[in-house]
Copies of this chain bind each other. A is one copy, B any other.
Amino acid sequence: MAFVWHKWLRKSIRFPSTSRALFTLKSDPSQEIIKSPPLLSLDLPDVWTSNSKYFDPPSIRECTNECSARVIDGKLVAEKIRAGIAAEVMRMKESIGKVPGLAVILVGQRRDSKTYVRNKRIACEEAGINFVMAKFPDTCSEDEVCEALSSFNENPSVHGILVQLPLPHHLDEEKILNELRLEKDVDGFHPLNIGNLAMRGREPLFIPCTPKGCVELLLRSGVDIMGKRAVVIGRSNIVGLPTSLLLQRHHATVSTVHALTKNPEQITCEADIVVTAAGVPNLVRGNWLKPGAVVIDVGTYPLEDSTSEYGYRLIGDVCYEEAVAVASAITPVPGGVGPMTIAMLLVNTLDSAKRAFNFS
């Protein structure tokens, strides 16, 4: 039980409109004409039911002898990609005297947010990408954040803008993100980008970094996505949803499993490719997997660990020790998808700068 990530508790203040109580509201007379409710009223928090079987992982040493899966080394792949980006940035600088620029807006003192931003800064600096940051205290106003955003929007040396999420509760995340210029939305979270990702015949300006990193790992692992059964566990706007859409653009047959799915293990064990982004440690047990499946674990849950350097270590959604004995290939946590997300952020920033400078 201790491991359950109560998203509902974390989000209940920021998404008051997702309450079940709204089902009974009848504010719109057109509801008398059709039965279909407004979609916002349907939004329920994804509370994965606590189930003791998820939270009773085997000892980390238990099944090392059976291990068969190839470990997909995201760190190594990401390093290669970052080296390629550094070379491309250098070529740009030598050709036109310009480099890409990434701007980050950081509000508050969250330890995890500060860590993520620091990692992005280091990655940018190593690749030769200009990094600028606007930092605000927890108590800042929406206007202050929007003003910084507007200034980055107008700045021609900034090609990508990130607003580090989550924002403090008093700030309207959607309103702030709507201010972000589409051509600089290197996170790819704008609904127009998501729509263009979903629709055949269209192409988004940016593919969200984590889904793009997952697919890149699959492609580099020699996985032929077309025609494969893929299950995406989780349907968040930033990982699960765009991953499902992207895998479908690659012609996988995609099923999306979420907290309200009955018997998620039944559908998951039919998949050739499993991408899991639920944020529930050890949710995916060995018996959830089809032998030979490829498993991409996006989950990162900080587990307190006094023996670890920072006082915690990250664990994924997948019960790694069990899965490694069943899967044909698997990403570790940490060192799998995480480094790829940052590498893809750099790719998106580079692409954005190339577009801005008409440089190819």
Q: Which positions in A face B, CB cutoff 8 Å?
A: 15, 18, 28-30, 32-36, 38-40, 42-44, 81, 84-85, 88, 174, 190-204, 207, 212, 215-216, 219-220, 226-227, 229, 235-237, 241, 245-246, 248-251, 253-258, 260-262, 267, 270, 344, 347, 350-351, 354, 360
Contacts and interface: CB of A to CB of B under 8 A. Distances in A.
Nearest to A255: B255
Nearest to A215: B36
A33 B344 CA distance: 10
A288 to B, nearest CB: 14
A199 B237 contact: yes
B203 A245 contact: no
A350 B219 CA distance: 47
- A215, A235, A344, A351 — most chain B CB neighbours (10 Å): A235
Given A33-B84, A191-B202, 14 more contacts: A29-B88, A29-B360, A30-B350, A33-B88, A33-B350, A36-B212, A190-B195, A194-B198, A194-B199, A195-B196, A198-B198, A199-B237, A248-B256, A267-B270
Contacts of A33: 81, 84-85, 88, 347, 350
Nearest to A202: B191
Contacts of A35: 216, 219-220
Contact of A197 (B39, B85, B196): B39
A81 B34 contact: yes
A279 to B, nearest CB: 15
14 contacts: A18-B201, A29-B360, A34-B212, A35-B216, A36-B216, A39-B203, A39-B204, A39-B246, A40-B203, A194-B198, A227-B260, A229-B262, A254-B255, A255-B267
A237 B248 CA distance: 13
Contacts of A196: 191, 195
Contact of A257 (B198, B235, B253): B253
Contacts of A85: 33
A214 to B, nearest CB: 10
Contact of A40 (B32, B40, B201, B235): B201
Contact of A30 (B262, B267, B270, B347): B347
Given A35-B219, A347-B30, A251 B195 contact: no
4 residue pairs, one from A and one from B, having the closest CB atoms = A191-B195, A195-B195, A33-B84, A255-B255
Nearest to A219: B35
Contacts of A350: 30, 33
A211 to B, nearest CB: 10
A202 B198 CA distance: 16
Contact of A347 (B34, B42, B43, B216): B34
B204 A262 contact: no
Given A42-B250, A251-B42, A260 B226 contact: yes
Contacts of A360: 28-29
